[in-house]
């Protein structure tokens, strides 16, 4: 019997169906990425560009367009604006580099902020060669595509009210525009179109890193957040990584200067002691020994202070050699989640991207995010 209840459920269904579809449609799902930060001036160029101000009024400007920070706003070709939006049917170039979608330029505390809003699937194609090489075995490239999509959508959900949702650096995912897109990257993205990693019906925090050096790390040991699918697994697959063994020599002065700059009172550094390690082998805490006393610092914090590319991982030994501290370590990155070099080797050994993902994110499953 056609009751009023059925009638209303149909009406509600019809009303809400298009909303649900458009919220997760591969042809409209976008992502906002901060592609430039801190530059005082940029040059915008391209074919068929349309520029509008913060009110949506179109601007008659000529290209290349020089945009500078000016007071609390910006100047675009000499015109003072609060912000600028540039769209193109093709690519927008900033300082010679191509970007998809549309670009927005804002003044920030330091220089200019440029946000690129583009289709998520397009973003992933450009990202592949920034994070790994599309020439790696295709199953490893597909694993990277799924992980990057999952990571981006998680950040999009948690930062939905912010001006942008992703940094284009190692703080989120490295992204350098559309110039390095290629057919293998596009293939990996399209063959996994819309696929994301879930745990208990929710999008996971799909952390990944370059190489783990033998054992991935539990998220709790890096960020004090316990996630069941990021508990650390053995990985003997990343031994081909260029960072399987790294070495870095640093003078005591350099270390002291970096530590003092962030408030640690370390002067006259004599020795660096390793206080403890996690089961993975990564260091928990370091002690900096001076004549005036000792200062202990978490190894994760020390790596951040010295630079992620300087101290490549927290799994190292340290010795004083000829007046310098020499760090000899293994792995590159925080070690949490997917190990990129491990994924490469696993793909070479015949594992597919689904097997690779379920290995590094135990207990998870792949689901389709898009409804079409």
Q: How far is the CB of 239 from Zn ion (least distance, A)?
A: 8
Smallest gap from Cβ 339 to Zn ion, in A, equals 3
49 vs 238 by CB, closer to Zn ion = 238
Q: Are 324 and 215 in contact (CB under 8 A)?
A: no
Of the pair 353, 369, the CB lying nearest Zn ion is at 353
Residue recorded with tokens 């898009």: 370
CB of 211 to Zn ion, least distance (A): 5
Question: Between 94 and 235, whose beta carbon lies closer to Zn ion?
Answer: 235
Question: Would you state the torsion angle of the CA atoms of residues 126, 156, 69, 61, taken in this order, to the nearest 10 degrees?
Answer: 60
> Which residue number, 238 or 259, has a Cβ lying nearer to Zn ion?
238
Q: Quick one: tokens of 250? A: 């640093």
Minimum CB distance to Zn ion, residue 237 (Å): 6
Rounded to a whole number of angstroms, the distance between the first and last alpha carbons of the chain is 32
Q: How far is the CB of 311 from Zn ion (least distance, A)?
A: 18
Which CB, 102 or 215, lies closer to Zn ion? 215
Output 33 or 212, the one with its CB closest to Zn ion: 212
Chain centre to alpha carbon of residue 14: 38
CB of 245 to Zn ion, least distance (A): 14
> Which residues, 6+ apart, have CB-to-CB distance to 149 below 8 Å?
120, 124, 192, 194, 195, 196, 369
Residue closer to Zn ion (CB basis): 146 or 238: 238
The residues, any chain, with a CB within 8 Å of residue 52's CB and separated by 6 or more, are 58, 59, 84, 85, 87
CB of 331 to Zn ion, least distance (A): 7
Q: Which is nearer to Zn ion, 46 or 213 (CB)?
A: 213
What is d(CA 119, CA 104) in angstroms, rounded to the nearest whole number?
Answer: 15
Interface with Zn ion (CB under 5 A): 212, 235, 238, 339, 342
Q: Judge if the upstream peptide bond of residue 64 is cis by omega within 30 degrees of 0.
A: yes
Could you please report the per-residue DSSP string of 119-177?
Answer: EHHHHHHHHHHHHS-TTS-HHHHHHHHHHHHHHHHHHHHHTTTSS-SEESSTTS-----
Least distance in angstroms from the C-beta of 360 to Zn ion: 9
The CA distance from 161 to 165, in Å, is 9
User: For residues 114 and 103, what is the distance between their CA atoms, to the nearest angstrom?
Assistant: 7
| Minimum distance of Zn ion from residue 212's CB (angstroms) | 3
**Three-class SS state of 99:** strand
Residue found under tokens 């010295």: 306
CB atoms within 10 A of CB 194: 19
> Beta strand 166-167 with 30-39: parallel, antiparallel or unpaired?
parallel
CB 99 within 8 A of CB 116: yes
Closer by beta carbon to Zn ion, 178 or else 340: 340
**Residue that is written with structure tokens 């202990």 in the block:** 296
């Amino acid at each position: 019997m056609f009751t009023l209840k059925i009638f209303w459920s149909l009406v509600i269904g019809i009303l809400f169906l298009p909303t649900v579809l458009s919220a997760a449609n591969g042809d409209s799902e976008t992502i906002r990425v901060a592609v430039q930060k801190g530059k005082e001036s940029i040059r915008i160029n391209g074919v068929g560009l349309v520029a509008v101000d913060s009110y949506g009024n179109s601007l008659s400007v000529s290209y290349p367009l020089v945009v500078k920070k000016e007071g609390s706003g910006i100047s675009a070709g000499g015109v003072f604006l609060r912000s600028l939006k540039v769209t193109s049917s093709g690519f927008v170039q900033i300082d010679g580099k191509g970007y998809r979608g549309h670009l927005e330029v804002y003044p920030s505390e330091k220089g200019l902020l440029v946000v690129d809003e583009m289709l998520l699937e397009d973003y992933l194609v450009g990202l592949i060669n920034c994070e790994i090489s599309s020439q790696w075995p295709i199953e490893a490239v597909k694993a990277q595509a799924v992980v990057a999509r999952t990571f981006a959508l998680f950040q999009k959900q948690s930062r939905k009210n912010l001006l942008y949702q992703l940094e284009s650096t190692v703080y989120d995912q490295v992204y350098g525009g559309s110039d390095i897109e290629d057919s293998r990257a596009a293939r990996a993205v399209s063959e996994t179109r819309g696929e994301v990693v879930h745990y208990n019906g929710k999008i996971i925090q799909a952390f990944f890193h370059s190489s783990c050096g033998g054992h991935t790390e539990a998220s709790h040991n890096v960020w004090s957040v316990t996630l069941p699918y990021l508990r650390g697994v053995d990985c003997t697959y990343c031994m081909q990584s260029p960072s399987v063994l790294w070495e870095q020599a640093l003078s005591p002065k350099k270390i002291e200067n970096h530590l003092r700059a962030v408030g640690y009172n370390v002067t006259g550094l004599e020795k660096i002691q390793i206080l403890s390690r996690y089961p993975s082998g990564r260091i928990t805490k370091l002690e900096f020994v001076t004549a005036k006393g000792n200062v202990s610092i978490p190894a994760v914090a020390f790596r951040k202070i010295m630079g992620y590319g300087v101290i490549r991982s927290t799994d190292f030994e340290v010795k004083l050699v000829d007046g310098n501290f020499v760090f000899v370590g293994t792995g590159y990155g925080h070690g949490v989640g997917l190990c990129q070099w491990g994924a490469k080797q696993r793909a070479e050994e015949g594992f597919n991207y689904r097997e690779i993902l379920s290995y590094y994110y135990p207990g998870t499953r792949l689901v389709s995010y898009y409804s079409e």
